[in-house]
């Protein structure tokens, strides 16, 4: 790592600013990262971190990790659904996708509200896309759609370009098998001993109220 001086000409003269930058070079220059820290007495300015990705190379999903900020990949959208806050009529809060590469590696991705709306008519299940400048994050600890250590996070800088007539080079879906004893939440069989009346429930995670009924089961014990 080496230190360097930077010009502050792009900051307003009225602001009192101190800054420094650190350039970390790895074994190959194209994997360099550039990080700029800005410290200002102006409360409206906080810390900025600017990341530089390594060119425009395409990566396999098995190569993607959280050691770099942005990634590019050519993938097939295997599954896609919109989250609308627990209802079918609400506004799109985010779009979720499962993508596959040519090796059959799968990964879950989340698209926030603004890009999800702009990509609503672009993304289709079973189609191939070149996705550029998406971020990589550790997978969610719960409610994982696929078994993968990382997930894709789209931003307003992410671009999605369709690739026509390339679907045959990609598997349509993947799966993994496990024994019944390894299933974390197995199905249960029991006798219904009580059913409550319908109760209207209002949740902060849903756009509208929902009707809820409680069913009590009893096993053989």
Residue range 120-174, pLDDT digits in tens: 999 999 999 999 999 999 998 888 889 899 999 999 999 999 999 888 889 888 8
- Would 100 be classed as within a structural domain? yes
pLDDT of residue 43: 32
pLDDT of residue 186: 67
Could you tell me if 68 and 162 lie in one domain? yes
Q: Which of residues 108 and 57 earns the better pLDDT score? A: 108
- Would 8 be classed as within a structural domain? yes
Check pLDDT > 50 for residue 9. no
Dihedral class, residue 61 (left if φ above 0, else alpha if ψ from -120 to 50, else beta): alpha
Residue 39 vs residues 4, 17, 19, 42: alpha-carbon distances, Å: 16, 6, 6, 9
The pLDDT tens digits for 44-58 are 332 333 334 445 789
pLDDT of residue 181: 78
In 3D space, the residue among 166, 95, 167 whose CA is nearest the CA of residue 134 turns out to be: 95
In 3D space, the residue among 155, 108, 160, 101 whose CA is nearest the CA of residue 130 turns out to be: 160
Check pLDDT > 50 for residue 115. yes
Question: For residue 94, what is the domain's CATH number?
Answer: 2.40.50.140
Could you tell me if 77 and 137 lie in one domain? yes
Could you tell me if 81 and 124 lie in one domain? yes
Q: Which of residues 190 and 5 earns the better pLDDT score? A: 190
Q: Which of residues 209 and 116 earns the better pLDDT score? A: 116
Could you tell me if 110 and 207 lie in one domain? no
Check pLDDT > 50 for residue 28. no
Q: How many domains does the chain have?
A: 3
- Would 51 be classed as within a structural domain? no
Could you tell me if 165 and 192 lie in one domain? no
- Would 156 be classed as within a structural domain? yes
Q: What is the pTM of this model?
A: 0.60
CB–CB of 113/92 below 8 Å?
A: yes
Could you tell me if 192 and 162 lie in one domain? no
Check pLDDT > 60 for residue 35. no
- Would 110 be classed as within a structural domain? yes
The pLDDT tens digits for 176-205 are 787 877 877 767 788 899 999 999 988 776
The sign of the dihedral angle between the CA atoms of 67, 71, 74, 75 is positive
- Would 50 be classed as within a structural domain? no
Could you tell me if 33 and 117 lie in one domain? no
- Would 74 be classed as within a structural domain? yes
Could you tell me if 104 and 10 lie in one domain? no
Name the most confidently modeled range: 46-60, 109-123, 202-216: 109-123
- Would 47 be classed as within a structural domain? no
Could you tell me if 78 and 135 lie in one domain? yes
- Residue 192's domain comprises 188-218
Q: What is the mean pLDDT of the chain?
A: 76
Could you tell me if 66 and 130 lie in one domain? yes
Residue 76 vs residues 70, 170, 173: alpha-carbon distances, Å: 19, 7, 9
Could you tell me if 165 and 98 lie in one domain? yes
Could you tell me if 120 and 204 lie in one domain? no
């Amino acid at each position: 790592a080496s230190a360097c001086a930077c010009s502050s000409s792009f900051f307003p003269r009225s602001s009192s600013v101190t800054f420094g930058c650190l350039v970390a070079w790895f074994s190959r220059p194209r994997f360099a990262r550039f990080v700029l820290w800005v410290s200002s007495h102006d409360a409206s300015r906080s810390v900025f971190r600017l990341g530089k990705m390594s060119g425009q190379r395409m990566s396999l999903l098995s190569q993607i990790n959280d050691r770099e900020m942005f990634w590019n990949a050519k993938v097939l959208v295997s599954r896609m659904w919109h989250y609308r806050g627990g209802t079918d009529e609400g506004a799109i809060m985010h779009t979720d996708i499962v993508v596959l590469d040519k090796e059959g590696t799968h990964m879950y991705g989340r698209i926030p509200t603004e890009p999800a709306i702009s990509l609503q008519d672009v993304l289709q299940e079973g189609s191939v896309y070149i996705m550029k400048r998406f971020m990589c994050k550790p997978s969610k600890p719960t409610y994982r759609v696929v078994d993968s250590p990382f997930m894709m996070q789209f931003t307003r800088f992410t671009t999605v370009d369709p690739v026509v007539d390339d679907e045959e080079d990609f598997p349509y879906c993947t799966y993994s098998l496990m024994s019944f004893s390894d299933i974390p939440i197995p199905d249960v069989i029991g006798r219904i001993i009580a059913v409550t009346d319908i109760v209207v429930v209002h949740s902060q995670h849903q756009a509208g109220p929902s009707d809820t009924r409680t069913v009590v089961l009893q096993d053989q014990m």
